[in-house]
Amino acid sequence: MTVLRSNLWNVLVLSFVLLVAHSAPAQFVPSDNTDVVLDPVELKAQLFTDGSAELVMDAVATNTGISVLDSITIRVDSLEAIMLSSTIDGVTVPGTVARLDRFSHVVLPLPDGLHSNESVSLHLVLRVTDLQSSPVLSSDGLHQQSDFILYVRPVCVMQNFTFVVHLPPHASLSQESVVPLFPDASGNLTDGHSMIFYWWTTQLQPGQERVFIVKYQIPAASVAANGPSLFELILAGLVGLVLGALLFKVMPLVILMVRRLRSVRIVGVTGEEQKVLDAIRDKGGSCPQKDLYVDLNMSQAKVSIILGNLEERGLVRRFKDGRENMVHLMEE
């Protein structure tokens, strides 16, 4: 009788444990993306003449691990990314952008979690302002030249990855660059208004890098067509006259101050290019390229664009020193 009661008690305890284990909610774990596979992936970049770009990503994410994931993380090599919209399976989710050292992480929450072998469709739209260079007038004065550069370094496996670039309306590939596209595009087409280039990659592993560079030009006339109104031009002219009169009176003093400081001013550079040149000069005229990312709080893509433009005009020179990329200021 005692043995029977003991066995009955053991059965009751075991049943209770199994019931609790079965009814307990799944354990969610933060996503480090090691178990996530994105397949397929399409990333589109729509370029605008104001220097900004819109990045649109569509992908299917699958959890290949055993834990339930509570979010998906996407790396974007930009420090000036703004979230416009994000959806999971067509439902809007509060995606966030976390700015790190030289890039940003876009985190998409999964309200219901992503269980093992389950898949979801994600849609992400970002506005970025640091992937294009400031426009520069071409040597013939007929076009404005701009560069776009994007680094892709996934934090999870990407399969069947397609990258698409839409140039601004009326834009064409730069005629002043020997290699306006890098790497060679898989193909190109047009929607009747813009030129479109695309690249296809079978697979990218976590940390594997691909870089896409597009150098294009826009007729200056088409840019001017979207310029200021007549009233704005008249107002700007009046302001210019006033400033010109003031400048005429203070110019001798400015020249004297510049001579005293014995500073070197390079003509024909943008404000961002001048910041890079000043940073190199402050470091004695030569420094590792990676120092500029940190000191100027710019993304790697933006600094690479600026240095490429400065190097083409003979203002700086880049060279390898071991594993370091060094930048040297070419003073006159």
pLDDT confidence band for 272 (50 / 70 / 90): confident
Burial grade of 275 (CB within 10 A; 0-12, 13-18, 19 or more): middle
Please determine, for residue 134, whether its predicted confidence score (pLDDT) is greater than 60: yes
Task: Indicate whether 165 and 284 sit together in one domain.
Answer: no
The pTM for the full model equals: 0.67
> Cβ(73)–Cβ(31) under 8 Å?
yes
Lookup: tokens for 155: 């934090």
Q: What is the pLDDT of residues 317-329, one digit of tens each?
A: 887 777 778 888 8
Percent of the chain surpassing pLDDT 70: 77
Amino acid at 51: G
Please determine, for residue 91, whether its predicted confidence score (pLDDT) is greater than 90: yes
> Cβ(87)–Cβ(138) under 8 Å?
no
Q: How many domains does the chain have?
A: 2
- Which carries the bigger pLDDT value, residue 268 or residue 138? 138
Amino acid at 246: L
- Coil, helix or strand at residue 323: coil
pLDDT confidence band for 28 (50 / 70 / 90): very low
pLDDT of residue 107: 94
- Which carries the bigger pLDDT value, residue 277 or residue 253? 277
Task: Indicate whether 163 and 287 sit together in one domain.
Answer: no
> Cβ(110)–Cβ(71) under 8 Å?
yes
Q: Which of 129-133, 243-247, 276-280 has the lowest mean pLDDT?
A: 243-247
> Cβ(211)–Cβ(153) under 8 Å?
no
- Which carries the bigger pLDDT value, residue 256 or residue 37? 37
Please determine, for residue 7, whether its predicted confidence score (pLDDT) is greater than 90: no
- Which carries the bigger pLDDT value, residue 242 or residue 138? 138
Does some domain include residue 251? no
E strand or H helix at 324, and its extent? strand 324-329
The enclosing domain of 210 has a CATH number of 2.60.40.1730
pLDDT confidence band for 251 (50 / 70 / 90): low
Residue where one domain finishes, among candidates 198, 222, 246 = 222
Cα angle value 218/222/223 (rounded, 5°): 75
- Which carries the bigger pLDDT value, residue 285 or residue 223? 285
Among candidates 245, 247, 176, 173, which has minimal Cα distance to 213? 173
Among candidates 123, 47, 115, which has minimal Cα distance to 83? 123
Tell me whether strands 172-173 and 210-219 are parallel, antiparallel or unpaired: antiparallel
Residue where one domain finishes, among candidates 162, 197, 222 = 222
Does some domain include residue 32? yes
pLDDT of residue 285: 82
How large is the average pLDDT for residues 172-201?
A: 90
Rounded Cα–Cα distance for residues 19 and 42 (Å): 44
Tell me whether strands 172-173 and 181-182 are parallel, antiparallel or unpaired: unpaired
Range of the domain at 132: 28-222
Does some domain include residue 68? yes
- Which carries the bigger pLDDT value, residue 32 or residue 104? 104
> Cβ(185)–Cβ(201) under 8 Å?
no
pLDDT confidence band for 68 (50 / 70 / 90): very high
Please determine, for residue 145, whether its predicted confidence score (pLDDT) is greater than 60: yes
Kindly give, in sequence order, each residue whose CB lies less than 8 Å from that of residue 180, ignoring residues fewer than 6 positions away. Answer: 173, 174, 214, 215, 216
Cα–Cα distances (Å) from 33 to 84, 193, 239, in that order, read: 23, 38, 55
Task: Indicate whether 215 and 80 sit together in one domain.
Answer: yes
Percent of the chain surpassing pLDDT 90: 44
User: In sequence order, which ranges of the chain are alpha helices (DSSP H)?
Assistant: 2-23, 220-225, 230-261, 271-282, 289-296, 300-312
Segments of 129-273 assigned E as strands: 136-137, 143-152, 157-166, 172-173, 181-182, 187-190, 195-204, 210-219
Q: pLDDT averaged over the chain?
A: 81
Place of tokens 């005293």: 260
Does some domain include residue 321? yes
Q: Which of 54-58, 112-116, 154-158, 304-308 has the lowest mean pLDDT?
A: 304-308
Lookup: tokens for 328: 């040297």
Cα–Cα distances (Å) from 109 to 74, 92, 124, 156, 184, in that order, read: 11, 10, 12, 16, 36
Please determine, for residue 174, whether its predicted confidence score (pLDDT) is greater than 50: yes
How large is the average pLDDT for residues 92-113?
A: 92
Rounded Cα–Cα distance for residues 143 and 138 (Å): 5
Task: Indicate whether 164 and 290 sit together in one domain.
Answer: no
Task: Indicate whether 168 and 38 sit together in one domain.
Answer: yes
How large is the average pLDDT for residues 5-10?
A: 52
Task: Indicate whether 206 and 280 sit together in one domain.
Answer: no
Please determine, for residue 264, whether its predicted confidence score (pLDDT) is greater than 50: no
